[in-house]
Amino acid sequence: MPKPNNFMKLKAWRGRLHRPMLLLVIFAILMSIVTLSKFYCVRSLFPTDTFCNHMKPDSRNGTGSEVRITIQTVIQKIQLEMSTMRDMPTNSSSSASLSRYSAFLADILALIESTHASLPSSEDPYQHDSERSSLHTLSNEPADYFFIEEMRKYVRMKPNRLGKQNFMGANGTFTSIGHACFAVKKELEEYMDYDIGEICNDDWKLAQRLMIHGCDPLPRRRCFSRAPKLYSRPFPINESLWKLPDNRNVRWSQYRCKNFTCLASNSPGKGFFKCADCFNLLHHEIPRWIEQVNLLPNSNLTADFLIPKVLGIKPGEIRIGLDFSVGTGTFAARMREFNVTIVSAAINLGAPFNEMIALRGLVPLYLTINQRLPFFDNTLDMIHTTRFLDGWIDFVLLDFVLYDWDRVIRPGGLLWIDSFFCLKEDLDDYLEAFKILRYKKHKWVVVPKLDRDDREVFFSAVLEKPPRPFR
């Protein structure tokens, strides 16, 4: 019978047209909001405000461009979705269609929010032009690069709720990520794929790999970090400095060794090679920087300087500093005995270095070589580094690192280069990088590195930052 058949076809077409029509309605509302926002603002409803602040040409051009880009993105997404829905088979499950439709609406909603954030905020009409021009341009372009919604929400600029500059002089908060995060998009989206308010995945190793490869700083997350199942009370400070911590206070799932006894043993294959003996507190660590243990035969030369002699260069002046090394905090522990506070920068390369430093009662700083030091200019009395900046480092990178260290060391502060090693043929180039700082040389020594067939050398120095008058 033709009539029922036509009726069924009409009903099927109505079902297909329902969603595209709803999307067109949403798009029409969005266009209306954007159009009206060019001529009206909320403050103009009051008698004292007859014109919108953003109607001025200098503020309208940049914002209008961003609005046009966002609207064009909305148009493209709607057109693509309508084309996809037209091609969908009629026997698709309703649950799958609903899930796809909901995700699409969420994406559209995010774009609308982005457009709203990019519109000029309602400011005081009597605000000076110079203050208004100092505001940052609101832009959410990085958010469009990612697919995970939590990642998009994080990188999107967060405007102030009052629509004015905050006490820091910004009209919003710009949450940052490392520029290399865009090159590791897949891994970063895996890191940001979690349930809000739940326990985070056991993915600290993924996070550290992202940081090492330049995705530093990482975005914040809205989940609870995992902790050891049976965390015990740390040892008192008079015991913790030279005693292996309780094994229950570390998550061992991503390490080859599963306890501190394994880390302190002399067995090979512990999962790391830098500072292989630094968990052996009683035999390897306890004499370091206090006793001479690495004297060269027949010459009495050594690349190891002792703490009392270094502190004697500036008596009573060294109070706070940074140790940028691979280790378990022994340098900070020894300096503590001389009433000097040292922050230990470390990453967990094959072993829980940060946990070990903290459980000893010292301060760890989870930091890679990629990042600018989180200290203000001319604030530290000393920076010490050992067995980290070695012959692997690029000369240009070393320049950036040394200039950053110079930035945070105060005039009269000390830079302690401890056992820097490299190939003999590279020594002059590396020494030139240190000489370019024009620091005063208190100690400067180059000795052979005997475990590499006389092909490598150690370099150690204690240098003082000179005062630099303003020009």
* Whole-number pLDDT of residue 16: 52
Q: What are the pLDDT digits (tens) for 357-386?
A: 999 999 999 999 999 999 999 999 999 999
pLDDT level of residue 79 (50, 70, 90 thresholds): low
pLDDT at 22 over 90: no
pLDDT band at 172 (very low <50, low <70, confident <90, very high): confident
**Across 91-112, average pLDDT:** 59
In order of 245, 253, 260, 273, 444, the CA distances from 233 in angstroms are 10, 21, 16, 30, 44
Q: What is the mean pLDDT of residues 119-128?
A: 47
| Span of 11-25, 34-48, 98-112 with lowest mean pLDDT | 34-48
Once rounded to an integer, what is the mean pLDDT over residues 293-308?
81
Q: How confident is the model at residue 404 (pLDDT cuts 50, 70, 90)?
A: very high
Q: What is the predicted pLDDT for the residue at 94? A: 56
Q: Is 391 or 403 the better-scoring residue by pLDDT?
A: 403
Provide the pLDDT for residue 470: 64
CA distances from 435 to 1, 44, 226, 399, 425 (A): 96, 63, 45, 11, 17
Structure confidence at residue 175 (pLDDT): 83
Whose CA is closest to 135, among 162, 168, 169, 160? 169
The pLDDT of residue 365 is 97
Q: Are 422 and 457 in contact (CB under 8 A)?
A: yes
The confidence score (pLDDT) of residue 293 equals 76
Q: What is the DSSP letter of 44?
A: G
The answer on pLDDT for 48 being more than 70 is no
Specify the pLDDT at position 268.
74
Reading phi first (left if > 0) and then psi (alpha if -120 to 50, else beta), residue 12 is in: alpha
- In 3D space, the residue among 363, 432, 433 whose CA is nearest the CA of residue 397 turns out to be 433
Of all residues in the chain, the percent with pLDDT exceeding 70 is 70
Ordered DSSP codes for 238-256: HHHTTSPPPGGGS--TT-S
> For 341-356, what is the mean pLDDT?
96
Q: Are strands 172-173 and 456-464 parallel, antiparallel or unpaired?
A: unpaired
Q: Look up the pTM and report it.
A: 0.70
| Residues 306 and 443 sit within 8 Å (Cβ to Cβ) | no
> Across residues 203-217, what is the average pLDDT?
94
Which pLDDT value is given to residue 102?
55
pLDDT range class, residue 34, cuts 50, 70, 90: low
The answer to whether the CB of 106 falls within 8 A of the CB of 100 is: no
Strand partners for 199: 224
pLDDT of res. 272: 78
91 has pLDDT over 70:
no
Confidence of residue 154 (pLDDT cuts 50, 70, 90): confident
Examine the pLDDT at 127 and tell me if it is beyond 70: no
Write down the pLDDT at residue 40. 44
CA distance 306 to 310: 6
- Give 79's contacts (C-beta < 8 A, 6+ positions apart): none
Q: What does the block give as tokens for 306? A: 């002792």
- In degrees to the nearest 10, what's the CA dihedral of 210, 409, 327, 331? -160
> Is the per-residue pLDDT at 392 higher than 50?
yes
Higher pLDDT residue, 135 or 460? Answer: 460
Cα three-residue angle 300-304-306, rounded to 5 degrees: 105
Q: Is the pLDDT of residue 445 over 90?
A: yes
Average pLDDT, rounded, for the chain: 80
For residue 171, what are its two tokens? 């009209």
Whole-angstrom distance, CA of residue 334 vs CA of residue 151: 42
The span from the CA of 232 to the CA of 221, in Å, is 26
State both tokens at 435: 């000489």
State residue 211's pLDDT score: 95
d(CA 309, CA 428): 27
The pLDDT value given to residue 301: 81
